[in-house]
Structure 1
Amino acid sequence: MAEAPDSHPTDAPGPGPGPEVLDAFASAKGFMPVDEGLALHAAATEAGLLGLPLLEIGTYCGRSTILLADAARRAGVTALTVDHHRGSEEQQPGWEYHDPGTVDAEVGLMDTLPTFRRTLHRAGLEDHVVALVGRSPRIAALWGTPLGMVFVDGGHTDEHATADYEGWAPHVAVGGLLAIHDVFPEPADEFTGQAPYRVHRRAVASGAFSEVSATGSLRVLRRTGPGPV
């Protein structure tokens, strides 16, 4: 989950994000590389055609939220993003992906919510996003609306990745998309990518989802049936 470079293509193909959205994505704090971002935007744009909300688990500072919000704006739907904003395991002090600039000096804990809000404001996309602030399983337990897309990009332990999948995948409408980030099948990537990889394999094995695309560590699957996930 290396920090993504701030370069981007100068011309987005066809229905892809326009230059202003690409600029906002490139300048936002976060980890998603450009090729995966473009694939996510394409999937979200397709899912938006169902006329249902698009939901992201793992907001961080809003880099990928920009792409979901742009797709939602085009489709006339809402992008939803779920995060407790205290940082996942690998973002805590002493870990490789910790950013001291995200720590609230008063309480001594990470708080990425202010940065996320500034990211959306700069991108001009605040009106197209609803931020759900809290822990993913607790919010999922209260949720009852079908979703056109679920993008799983939260915690990277088996406990958290599994909870995100079990809480939200059942809400993907038939024909909708499930996207999973940081899918790395190699055991050397145990901390950052093995749990998402196991969730990906579980989704495929369920028979309720079929693979659509793979770009870098991003996997996109389609809900093909109403059975259990």
Structure 2
Amino acid sequence: MNITLIKTIKGFLDHEEGMKLYEIAKEASKIGPCLEIGSYCGKSSIYLGAGCSENNGILFSIDHHRGSEEQQPGQEYYDPELFDEREGKINTLGHFRKTLELFQLENTVIPIVSRSKTASQMWETPLSLVFIDGGHTFEAAFTDYDCWAKHIMKNGYLLIHDIFKKPEEGGQAPHEVYNKAIKSGLYTILPMVKTLGILKKKCS
């Protein structure tokens, strides 16, 4: 994996977290397709997609590509390079597709340009891995969990990014979703990697 090239891709994923995504996707994709929510410009898709490609697997990547709440003009994570002047909106789809082409993942990663809840409405395919890294409001994070965790197969993985245990370190929605999943009793807790929560669905 070309680390120097990965660093040129816009995104907020730490490399150590990314390598863990790769490792888990490589294992999980042996038993079924993987899915991520919140592809942005494709940094996480590189790691997950590379893991899936080891088994000729598939990664479904969901994002409406209009940016999350905190990425809008005037907000903390606004990037003017992602603002489409013609449309008057954030548009990350072009950057995402260029990333897939650059890393030769177009036959592995299937983009789903949609809101998470909309994409889930007719979904029936069991998933070996679900990575939640979409909107970080409580409504968005809990919607992603409620819509997609139920599709994780036994021995599959639920991965949640940006878990901060202290409010002063970051938003608490992913942390609350992580706690909700743990309280369900459906998952085995595995060691976190920085802000990446890792849960494995139990067999029974």
Bin the TM-score by the shorter chain: over 0.9
**Which of residues 1, 7, 10 is equivalent to 1:29?**
10
Specify the alignment match of 1:89 in structure 2. Answer: 69
Q: Say whether residues 1:179 and 2:159 are aligned partners.
A: yes
What is the Cα-based RMSD across aligned positions, in Å?
A: 1.2
Structure 1 SS opposite 2:97: helix
Specify the alignment match of 1:3 in structure 2. Answer: none
8 Å Cα contact 1:91/1:98 also seen in 2: yes
Q: Residues 148-227 of structure 1 correspond to what in structure 2 (within 5 A)?
A: 148-189=128-169, 192-225=170-203
Which string of whole-angstrom CA distances, capped at 9 and with x for unpartnered residues, describes residues 64-109 of structure 1?
1011111111011101100000000111111121100001111110
Counterpart-to-counterpart distance in 1, 2:171 and 2:184: 20
Structure 2 SS opposite 1:27: coil
| CA deviation after TM superposition for structure 1 residue 210, in Å | 1.5
| CA deviation after TM superposition for structure 1 residue 26, in Å | 2.0
Counterpart-to-counterpart distance in 2, 1:41 and 1:225: 23
User: Which stretches in structure 2 are left out of the alignment for 5+ residues?
Assistant: none
Which string of whole-angstrom CA distances, capped at 9 and with x for unpartnered residues, describes residues 98-149 of structure 1?
1000011111100000000011111111111100001001111111000010
Give the 4+ runs in structure 1 shifted more than 6 A: none
Q: Match for 2:66: what amino acid? A: R
Structure 1 SS opposite 2:76: coil
| CA deviation after TM superposition for structure 1 residue 48, in Å | 1.4
**Which of residues 107, 115, 134 is equivalent to 1:135?**
115
Q: Match for 2:201: what amino acid? A: R
Counterpart-to-counterpart distance in 2, 1:99 and 1:149: 30
Larger helix proportion of the pair: 1
**Which of residues 47, 50, 70 is equivalent to 1:67?**
47
8 Å Cα contact 1:24/1:123 also seen in 2: no
User: Which stretches in structure 1 are left out of the alignment for 5+ residues?
Assistant: 1-17
May I ask how many residue pairs the two structures share in their alignment? 204
Structure 2 SS opposite 1:212: strand
Counterpart-to-counterpart distance in 1, 2:159 and 2:106: 23
Which string of whole-angstrom CA distances, capped at 9 and with x for unpartnered residues, describes residues 182-227 of structure 1?
00111224xx43000000000001001111220110011001146x
CA 1:205–1:225 in 2, change beyond 3 Å: closer, same or farther?
farther
8 Å Cα contact 1:24/1:66 also seen in 2: no
